[in-house]
């Protein structure tokens, strides 16, 4: 759909009807996309590559992950015996809570500064998508958010849609060949952020250009140290012998932030 027509009432009503009428179809592949999507929510604890689906962590027998950063912030993720998050808490009292039924993620609760939000999930084969029930802005009755993710080509392709009568904004992360393309579309704009992957087990080295056109690169210095460079910003990913991140160090100019990770096991 052309972004030149975004914001028109007819487009808004058509998209809203489409999302509300989408039916559930559970197959043997639904469990896999549920697991991938649930584990991707752990990206809230990690900086850098994890939020783009480019870090694979060993979560076997992990009961909780606690993050302590040098700026004083802390967060803890609690996992079930299958490695799926059940709750993520932050030092500012915000939290996410995840509920499962028959092995499928069904509900996400989210406490923010302004309100408590609950998101329900449905499945269409290897796709997970949000069930649209009520507008997020109950006063205007016109503001919805629709998320969907599909596990394809060993990657969790993700789309986020902000839907209102004023504007439709789409954000996506899609794997296309050896590239992952992050796109943001608005009424009068479109931006792309492209990762180019290598044909290796961990995709390294990875090169990319951010939304401002700056080039970044991620390289494996050793099995326990990866380095990401973007302008003056240098990010170090330190791994332990169990393929778990033990420390992330972000340096930009004279500023340095250290993130330490502690794992409690079952």
Nearest residue to 257 (alpha-carbon basis) of 87, 70, 95, 42:
70
Q: Which helix (H) or strand (E) holds 99?
A: strand 95-101
Q: What is the pLDDT of residue 206?
A: 96
Confidence band, pLDDT 50/70/90 cuts, at residue 129? very high
Q: Which residues, 6 or more positions from 249, have their beta carbon under 8 angstroms from its beta carbon?
A: 235, 236, 238, 256, 257, 258, 259
CATH of residue 49: 2.40.160
pTM: 0.88
Domain of residue 114 covers: 3-265
Average pLDDT, the chain: 89
CA distance 64 to 61: 9
Specify the range with the lowest mean pLDDT, choosing from 24-33, 169-178, 203-212. 203-212
Confidence band, pLDDT 50/70/90 cuts, at residue 29? very high
Confidence band, pLDDT 50/70/90 cuts, at residue 20? very high
Per-residue pLDDT tens over the stretch 239-264: 999 999 999 999 999 999 999 999 99
Quote the number of domains for the chain.
1
Q: What is the mean pLDDT of residues 125-136?
A: 86
CA quadruple 133, 136, 139, 140: dihedral sign: negative
Q: What is the mean pLDDT of residues 197-218?
A: 90
Give the Å distances, CA to CA, from 207 to 56, 81, 178, 210, 230.
Answer: 18, 35, 11, 10, 10
Res 237 pLDDT > 90: yes
CA distance 179 to 253: 30
CA quadruple 144, 150, 155, 156: dihedral sign: positive
Q: What percent of the chain has pLDDT over 70?
A: 92
């Amino acid at each position: 759909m052309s972004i030149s027509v975004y914001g028109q009432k007819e487009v808004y009503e058509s998209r809203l009807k489409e999302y509300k009428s989408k039916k559930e179809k559970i197959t043997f592949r639904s469990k896999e996309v549920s697991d991938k999507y649930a584990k991707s929510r752990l990206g809230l604890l990690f900086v850098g590559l994890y939020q783009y689906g480019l870090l694979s962590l060993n979560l076997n027998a992990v009961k909780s992950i606690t993050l302590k950063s040098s700026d004083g912030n802390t967060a803890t993720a609690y996992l079930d015996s299958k490695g799926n998050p059940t709750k993520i808490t932050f030092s500012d009292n915000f939290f996410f809570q995840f509920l499962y039924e028959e092995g499928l993620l069904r509900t996400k609760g989210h406490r923010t500064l302004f309100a408590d939000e609950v998101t329900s999930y449905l499945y269409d084969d290897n796709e997970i998508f949000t069930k649209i029930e009520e507008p997020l802005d109950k006063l205007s009755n016109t503001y919805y958010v629709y998320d969907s993710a599909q596990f394809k080509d060993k990657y969790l392709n993700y789309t986020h849609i902000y839907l209102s009568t004023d504007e439709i904004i789409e954000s996506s992360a899609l794997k296309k060949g050896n590239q992952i393309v992050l796109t943001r579309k608005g009424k009068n704009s479109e931006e792309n952020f492209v990762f180019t992957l290598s044909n290796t087990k961990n995709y390294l080295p990875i090169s990319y250009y951010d939304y401002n056109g700056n080039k970044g690169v991620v390289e494996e210095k050793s099995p326990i140290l990866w380095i990401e460079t973007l302008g003056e910003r240098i990010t170090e990913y330190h791994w332990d012998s169990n393929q778990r991140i033990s420390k992330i160090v972000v340096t930009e100019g004279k500023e340095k932030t250290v993130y330490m990770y502690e794992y409690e096991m079952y």
